[in-house]
Each structure stands twice: as C-alpha cells, then as structure tokens.
Amino acid sequence: MFEKLRETARELLSKGEVECVLGFAEGTLPMIYTPYHARKPEEAEKLVYGPFAAPNIATYLRKLKGKKAAVIVRGCESRTINLLISEKQLNREDVKIIGVPCTGALDRKRILKDYGGEIREARIEGEKVIVKGDKGEKAYVLEEYISPSCKSCLYPEAIDPDIKIDGPSRDGEKADFSDIEKIEKMSPAEKWEFFEKELSKCIRCYACREICPMCYCESCFVDSNRPVWVEPGFDYTDILSFHLIKMYHMAGRCVDCGACERACPLGIRLSFLTRKLTKDMKEAYNFVSGLSPEEKPALGVFSPDDREDFIL
Amino acid sequence: MKDEPKILAFLCNWCSYAGADLAGTSRVQYPTNIRVIRVPCSGRVNPQFIVKALHDGLDGVWISGCHIGDCHYQTGNYYARRRFYVIKNLLEYVGVEPERVQFSWVSASEGKKFAEIAGVVTEKVKKAGKFKRLAKKR
Amino acid sequence: MKKIEKEKLLRHLEEKGNLVRLDRARQDPLSVTKSSHLPQEELLLLFRINGDKGVEIRVPEGRGGKILFGVSPCEARAVDLLDLTFLRDRIDPYYKRKREDNVLFVLACNKPRSTCFCTSFGYGPFSGKFGDVFMVDIGDNLLIDPVTEKGSKALEGLELEEATPSDLEKMESLKRSAEGAITTVNIEGISEKLKKMFLDEIWADLAFKCVNCGACTYVCPTCYCFDIQDVERTNWGYRERVWDSCMFPIYSLETSGHNPRPTGVERMRNRIMHKFSYYPELYGEYGCVGCGRCIRACPVNFDIREALETLKEVEVAA
C-alpha cells in the first residue's frame, strides 16, 4: 500500500535531491506510527502513513533546519508548513512537499479504553481497525474513532504539494462544531465545571506544547520567572492560566490538527479549545489558518471594520 | 469594603488615561473600585495581563484605549481589538462571567464618559460578584 | 504465607485509616504511589507579614497516613529507589514523614502489560520483598505476607489462615505465567558501556523523535526531580516544591544564560545516563524499574527498550 510513497522517497534520496525524507515508520506499540526520517534510499522501505500517525510531522522540520528535506504531509501538516513559511521559520525552497491522502488520525486512547484489556496487535482493514489482545479480536469502525479535530477538518488533502500520492481521503465538506456550540450555550458555572473536570487532569508535562509545530518559541511564557506569568503549581487555577494563554497564542495560528490532544498522556480533550479557536476565527474574521504561505497571521493584521459589538 | 470588587483598569496614556485625568480635574465622581495601570497604548496590553490579573485575585479587568482611528500610534488599537475579541471569547468559553472583562474607547476629552463607563463596568462586575474561582487559594 | 478473604482485609484496612485502592483500575499513566510520597505540588512553608509583629512563618505538617492497597511491585521498588535520594545521604523531612506514615500493600502482578520489562532488573512481577505487605490474588483469596514491621502492625487483629499447598501451587502457576509474559531486555554491562559513550554520535539519532516534553519523567515512578519556588502576594506568600523535568530547557539553564544541556540531544542523553549509568555508579542500582509507563505515555513512541537495544549495539572504542 505504501509502494508509491516509498518509490518516490527512494528516488528523491538516490538522486540526491533531498538529504532526508521525513515521515513516519512503524512503532513499537500497536496503533502507533513513530516519526522517522529516511536518510538512505534503502531506508525509504520503512516509510508509512495513515491513521496511526498521531503527531504533526511539521514539528520535526525545526530539527532539520539547514537541510534539504522532503516531508510527507496530510492536509493539516501542509497548512502548518504554510504558516511556518509565513512566520519566517522555514524556507519554501528547503522543503519538498509530498502530499498523502488522509482519512483522519486515530484517537488511539479511546480504542484502548473501549477495548479494556491489553492490545498487542492492530492493523487497518478497509474502514476498520482490527485489534488483537487479551480480550480477543475486536473490530472498530475507523470513522467512529477518529480524532475530534479530524472530524471537523475542511482540508484533508495537502495544499500545493510538489508531489502528490493518490488514495482515498476524507470528505472535507462536513465540518461539524455542534459540540462546541453546546458548550457555548452553557451557563458560566456549567462551563467552569465542565472545563475544570476536563483540564484538571493536566500534569503540565507540556507534551501539548512540545508536539505543536507552532510552539517553536525559544523561551516560553510559562518558563518565564521574571515576571511569573503562570505560577508553577498544579492547582487548577495554574493549569487553566497555562492553557488559556497557550490557546490565545494559537489564535489564527492553529490548524487544528489535533496533535496536542493525541499527545496528551492524560487524554485531555484539548480539541474543545482548539476547535473553539478555529470556529471563532472563521466566524469573526472569515479566517482559516495556513491556506497559503503568503497569508498573514489573523492577529497580525486588522480591518477597520472588525467587529466591536463587545466593546462598551 | 471587603465585599467591594476590585477592578484593574489598563488605560492608554494618550486617551483614556487623560480622560480619567479630565474626570478628576472636572470633579466628576466615579467608583473607587477601579485601580489604574497606565500603558502606552491599548495595543500594549497583552491578554496575558488579563489572565494574570484574574489569577492574582482581581474581580474584573477593564481595558480602555483611544477611539478607533485616533490611536496615537496609528494602528495600535486595531490590533488590540482583535486580541481582545479572542481572549474575551476564550475566557467566557471556559466559564469566566462575561461581565468581568470589559473594553471601551474613551478619548482625552471624554472625562464624563470615562466616569460613566467606570460606573457601568463597576456595576457589571458587582453583578458578577467577587471572583474567587481563578484566584489561587492557599 | 497466610491467606485471607479480600473483602475482610479491606474492611479491616478501611477502619484503620485512609485507604487508597490501586487494585481496581490500572494505575496509569501516573504512579499514585510516587505522588503519595512526592506530590506534584507540595507546600513547604507559608509566610505572612503581620503588621508590626513581623513575619509569621508556618510549616505545614504534610503527613502521609495513606494505606496504599494494590501497589505493583515495580512501583514499590521505585519507592525504595526514591529512598536512596531522599533518605540516604541527606534526609528530606517532607518525604520522610510521608514515607513513615504510608503503608504499602503490594499486590503481585498477575497480568503484566506488553510494555513491562521489570524482569530485566533482577526482580519480577511476584517479587515479595518490596513495600510493607506482599499479597497475591489467587482468585478466591489473597495470599498475604508481611514484609516489614509496619506491615505486621497493619495486619494486627486480623485472623489469618495458613495457606494450603494447593494455594501455593496456584501462586506458582500464576507467577510462571506472569513472568513468561514479560520480555526481558538484557542490560548487562550497559552502565559501564554508557560511561564511554558520553560523546557518541548515537545520541543525536536516538533523540531525533523525542520532542522533549516531560511526559516520560512525570509518569516515571523513579524520577524525582523537583523545583522549589516562592510565590509572592502583597503581604503573604508561600514556598512550594513542584515536579520538574530534565527534559525541559530551563531545567539546566543557569543564571548566566549558559545552558550546559542546550538541545534535546543532551537532555535525552541525561535521562538515559541518569537511570542506567549515574544511578548504578552512585547507588549500585539501576534508576529504572522497567514498568513501561514512559513507553505508554510517550506521544511519539520513544521506546526505552528499543533505545537500550540500540545503545547495546553501538561499537565503542575501548
């Protein structure tokens, strides 16, 4: 199934067009692909793509600065690359973009929970994930276990790739924000309770920050101790402060790839926040991040007639 | 006095702060709940300040700058407007009462308006009550 | 070994004090046993300026007093390793109080996970020498054996039956199947080898996929790094101890601005070196218990077992 991709990668590497091909390889646990960069033509054999790839691969481009790399991307990852270019973090000439089809990334933790036992093997068969473990073999419909962010994805396919690998992709027309709207309709007290329940699990390991391709700052506001923007504790007030400011920094820069949510070891639904941002930016400024490398970040521009119904 | 809400106001140097000054020199009364921090421009107000203020125990935050088109630095308040929209929405979304965070445009000549809006902000924050949720307890 | 009905034992413990059940759900990803001794956030002292009386300082008692029921052998072993840091050369009073108060009821692991590799470290899922009381769930009953005096005291007043040969046989068979389900990583000689590998190029390769979040270190039952911070308010404040992680850039950042571990490569190297080289050198024990938590929590599938295999294969000049 990955022949076309591997062939492309092999060719790029053997012709010396790129120094490495960045993508995913099989991992050591079921339902996980691990970030991988093939540097020799024979290493192209290891490259894979599909729902088991949880992180946003564009994060790894910062580790390859100064190198000519090809990168295997889905829609969200290609939009991230556009953002990185527009924020001057990446030169378009340095990357060769290989677009692959995307049927959404798997919400692995939900399958682990629903299975209830130890899963030892997993594979994808058509539209199903087949898992095997100490509770026997079970099949899960992929679409039902896809990340919430992927469910509201409008651009599953890579934008302007240099090379395109064909295959079945998601339908990008069905963006659905009904769960976000449901939260918006709650009373402040209900909202508070809802998010306290969700976010207080946070242990501030910053997996969400580190996995995020747009969190590339050399020093982060949480690490500042003069002044202390966010106090170091694990109290909910500290946790919420961190997430609020982090999310604010993501406004108009988040492509809602869902990598932060999938990275969270505690399984916090960060998409409740990222998808709210996506929805707000679209509604207020008709802005969708990362559609073109020339586009300016939404909070870096303005329009004289921006909405101000919230101003006294 | 203990039950009176405390409101932190970030006022831009060129308009709203001068407006507050005018209110004072014209002897127009406004509520004493307001604590003022002078900033060069409403665009100087990082939304981080708002979160930090609420976390440190303030009950409300009010940010005021020059009217749109009047910014001393030409465009500062245009950028600020977008930022405030985002942070206000986020705060409301996680359960902070919408009354607590307020924005306004007040010019240097609007001493009376300044006092009026100070009243409105205070009323709104009073309605929401003391804010203990985001303040860290020990 | 003795035996007892599980419900009877639980009723007895419930009356004794603050019972924390760890046997019902898999304790994942965080080790409750670790955080019961070294909380994520721990208040060290409170201070308040009290008019002309000067500064008042209050030090909280911070007692433990938990009965941890169903601690896995790996977690209990991890606490023994924490002792080396907090109780051996210098005594940490906050840790010591909790360590003295908490009682650890260790439950043998009947169903190891696919990520377990505890047998690599000279013990296994049925090792009965950790914690205060060792228990084996043989289905209808618990086989039980106090390990420490504290453990015997916790069982006082309970009528325990003598375990029958068939009970012991059941235990042996459970033990065999559990041990058989675990993949052992051969780490012989790794600590000596690592000493020669500080400047090896392999670290850059190993660290490539790592994004340097703190997930592995926070879920690790033996990682104990912390930070002490003062939080100030107008006329009061407090000093607290919070978890910290060697994976973060500011962990090793010095006041001068110099950072001896400037990139993820050095930080990754430190994490592995600490567990597999520095710990053995200092204490004669590995700093890893093979519980596999870091493998399960890692967002990018950095597998410590795989890393150890890679490190073993690297050729180093003598």
Please, what's the b/e burial string for A51-61 (b: 16 or more CB within 10 A of its CB; e: otherwise)? bbbbbbbbbbb
pLDDT digits (tens, 9 = 90+) for C191-222: 999 999 999 999 999 999 999 999 999 999 99
Flag whether B133 is in a domain. no
Q: In this complex, do A302 and B75 lie within 8 Å of one another by their Cβ atoms?
A: yes
pLDDT attached to residue B138 = 64
pLDDT attached to residue A154 = 87
For chains A and C, count residue pairs whose Cβ atoms are closer than 8 Å. 107
Confidence of residue B136 (pLDDT cuts 50, 70, 90): confident
Flag whether C318 is in a domain. no
Flag whether B27 is in a domain. yes
pLDDT attached to residue A117 = 86
Q: What percent of chain C has pLDDT over 70?
A: 99
Flag whether C120 is in a domain. yes
Q: Which chains touch B (3 or more CB pairs under 8 A)?
A: A, C
Alpha-carbon distance C158 to nearest alpha carbon in chain A (angstroms) = 34
Query: If contacts are CB pairs under 8 Å, which of residues 227-286 in chain A contact chain B?
Result: 229, 231, 233, 235, 237-238, 240-241, 244-245, 247-248, 251, 273, 276-277, 280, 284-285
For chain B, the average pLDDT equals 91
Which of A210, A219, A220, A266 to probe by mutation at the C interface, max C CB count within 10 Å? A210
Flag whether B137 is in a domain. no
3-state secondary structure B24-81: HHCCCCCCCCEEEEEECCHHHCCHHHHHHHHHCCCCEEEEEECCCCCCCCCCHHHHHH
Considering only alpha carbons, which residue of chain C is nearest residue B53? C233
- In this predicted structure, the answer to whether residue A187 has a pLDDT above a threshold of 60 is yes
Flag whether B136 is in a domain. no
Higher-confidence residue of B133 and A119: namely A119
pLDDT attached to residue C26 = 62
C238: chain B residues, CB-CB within 8 Å: 138
pLDDT attached to residue C234 = 81
- Nearest Cα neighbor of C62 from C35, C92, C34, C98 is C98
Flag whether A126 is in a domain. no
Flag whether A121 is in a domain. no
pLDDT digits (tens, 9 = 90+) for C122-155: 999 999 999 999 999 998 899 999 999 999 999 9
Query: If contacts are CB pairs under 8 Å, which of residues 272-311 in chain C contact chain A?
Result: 295-303, 305-306
Q: Which chains touch C (3 or more CB pairs under 8 A)?
A: A, B
Kindly state whether C181 is in contact with chain A, defined as any CB-CB distance less than 8 angstroms.
Answer: no
Q: In this complex, do B134 and A237 lie within 8 Å of one another by their Cβ atoms?
A: yes
Kindly state whether A308 is in contact with chain B, defined as any CB-CB distance less than 8 angstroms.
Answer: yes
Q: In this complex, do C238 and B138 lie within 8 Å of one another by their Cβ atoms?
A: yes
The crossing angle, in degrees rounded to 10, of helices B47-55 and B76-93 is 40
pLDDT attached to residue C318 = 62
pLDDT digits (tens, 9 = 90+) for A237-251: 999 999 999 999 999
Look up the domain containing C173 and give its range.
2-313
pLDDT digits (tens, 9 = 90+) for B8-19: 999 999 999 999
Flag whether A132 is in a domain. no
Tokens of A35: 């970030």
Q: In this complex, do A235 and B136 lie within 8 Å of one another by their Cβ atoms?
A: yes
Flag whether B38 is in a domain. yes
- In this predicted structure, the answer to whether residue C118 has a pLDDT above a threshold of 90 is yes
Q: In this complex, do C46 and B56 lie within 8 Å of one another by their Cβ atoms?
A: no
Assess contact for A139 and A153: CB atoms under 8 A.
no
Cα(C56)–Cα(A210) distance, integer angstroms: 41
Assess contact for C110 and C178: CB atoms under 8 A.
yes
ipTM of the complex: 0.91
Q: In this complex, do B84 and A240 lie within 8 Å of one another by their Cβ atoms?
A: no
- In this predicted structure, the answer to whether residue C99 has a pLDDT above a threshold of 90 is yes
Q: In this complex, do A190 and B84 lie within 8 Å of one another by their Cβ atoms?
A: no
C296: chain A residues, CB-CB within 8 Å: 29, 265
Question: What is the arithmetic mean of pLDDT over A1-11?
Answer: 91
Q: How many domains does chain A have?
A: 1
- Nearest Cα neighbor of C73 from C132, C28, C141 is C132
- In this predicted structure, the answer to whether residue C251 has a pLDDT above a threshold of 70 is yes
Look up the domain containing A282 and give its range.
3-107+146-300
Considering only alpha carbons, which residue of chain A is nearest residue B119? A312
Alpha-carbon distance C48 to nearest alpha carbon in chain A (angstroms) = 19
Flag whether B2 is in a domain. no
Of A206, A263, A266, the CB nearest to C29: A266
Kindly state whether A63 is in contact with chain C, defined as any CB-CB distance less than 8 angstroms.
Answer: yes
Q: What percent of chain B has pLDDT over 70?
A: 98
- CA atoms lying within 13 Å on the CB side of residue A118: 15
Look up the domain containing B114 and give its range.
7-128
Q: In this complex, do A312 and B98 lie within 8 Å of one another by their Cβ atoms?
A: no
Burial class of C304 by CB neighbour count within 10 A (0 to 12, 13 to 18, 19+): buried
Longest Cα–Cα distance of chain A, Å, equals 64
Question: What is the arithmetic mean of pLDDT over A216-234?
Answer: 87
Residue B36 neighbours by CB under 8 Å, 6+ apart: B9, B11, B17, B20
Cα(A74)–Cα(A68) distance, integer angstroms: 19
Kindly state whether C62 is in contact with chain A, defined as any CB-CB distance less than 8 angstroms.
Answer: no
Tokens of B35: 């604590």
Flag whether C72 is in a domain. yes
Question: What is the arithmetic mean of pLDDT over A221-243?
Answer: 88
- In this predicted structure, the answer to whether residue B1 has a pLDDT above a threshold of 60 is no
Tokens of C287: 């700093």
Alpha-carbon distance B86 to nearest alpha carbon in chain A (angstroms) = 7
Flag whether C186 is in a domain. yes
CATH label of the domain that carries residue B13: 3.40.50.960
Q: How many domains does chain B have?
A: 1
pLDDT digits (tens, 9 = 90+) for A70-82: 999 999 999 999 9
For chain A, the average pLDDT equals 92
pLDDT digits (tens, 9 = 90+) for C42-95: 999 999 998 888 999 999 887 778 999 999 999 999 999 999 999 998 999 999
Cα(C185)–Cα(A21) distance, integer angstroms: 31
B58: chain C residues, CB-CB within 8 Å: none
Question: What is the arithmetic mean of pLDDT over A178-184?
Answer: 92
- In this predicted structure, the answer to whether residue A46 has a pLDDT above a threshold of 80 is yes
Q: In this complex, do A237 and B55 lie within 8 Å of one another by their Cβ atoms?
A: yes
Strands C103-107 and C66-71: parallel
Flag whether B60 is in a domain. yes
Q: In this complex, do B86 and A308 lie within 8 Å of one another by their Cβ atoms?
A: no
Question: What is the arithmetic mean of pLDDT over A104-120?
Answer: 91
Alpha-carbon distance B2 to nearest alpha carbon in chain A (angstroms) = 22
Q: In this complex, do C213 and A207 lie within 8 Å of one another by their Cβ atoms?
A: yes
